Amino acid sequence: MVIFFLFYGIFLKTCPKEVITRLYDNEGWTKSQYILTKLGKLCGLIHIILVIFTPLNIVSIEFMIGIIIYLIGTIGFVIAVINFKKVPLGQPITLGVYKISRNPQVLTLFLVSFGTSLMIASWIAVIIVVISIIFFHFRILGEEKRLIEQYGDSYLEYKKKVPRYFLFI
């Protein structure tokens, strides 16, 4: 998890303030979307604490599968934030991994969290990740509403072509 948050911290430090503002824009969200997003973040924090305090069994098959999923998620996240950073502020983000998912940062964060859950071989951690993702879905609905208002037809066309998460989901 330290590696993942190190990459994310570097990304945030190298971004102009406007990019960070775009990343965390919650204007126009309903109160319930805001509350559910906070609950998702709370689940994420609980997950991190659980991962920190659970010993690893590095010779287990769960660890090996988990590390592969974690690495895929981390690499995907780095690519997603680089793509995010490259797009000018007045345009919707549609390049790179955003051509296969409208929310690659959330998708890859799920992979990182799921991978670490497998690495510690904890079903409780997996359940917490799934609950967190359900809460974050409401954040994404709020973001999409805002993006439609902001970009109009260009975002609606993008939305028709690219799935919310991955493949058909």
Long-range contacts of 58-61 (CB under 8 A, 24+ apart): 60/121
C-alpha distance from residue 157 to each of 42, 109, 135 (Å):
34, 26, 26
Burial of residue 104, with CB atoms counted within 10 A of its CB: 0-12 exposed, 13-18 middle, 19 or more buried:
buried
Cα dihedral 166, 167, 168, 169 in deg (nearest 10): -10
The top-scoring range by mean pLDDT among 8-22, 24-38, 128-142 is 128-142
Q: For the residues of 8-62, what is the DSSP string, one character each? A: HHHHHHHS-HHHHHHHT--TT--HHHHHHHHHHHHHHHHHHHHHHHS---TTSHH
Does residue 155 carry a pLDDT above 80? yes
Q: HSE (CB half, 13 Å, CA atoms) of 140?
A: 18
pLDDT confidence tier of residue 10, bands split at 50, 70 and 90: confident
How do residues 100-139 score in pLDDT, each as one tens digit? 999 998 899 999 999 999 999 999 999 999 999 898 888 8
Mean pLDDT of 84-108: 87
Mean pLDDT of 50-69: 92
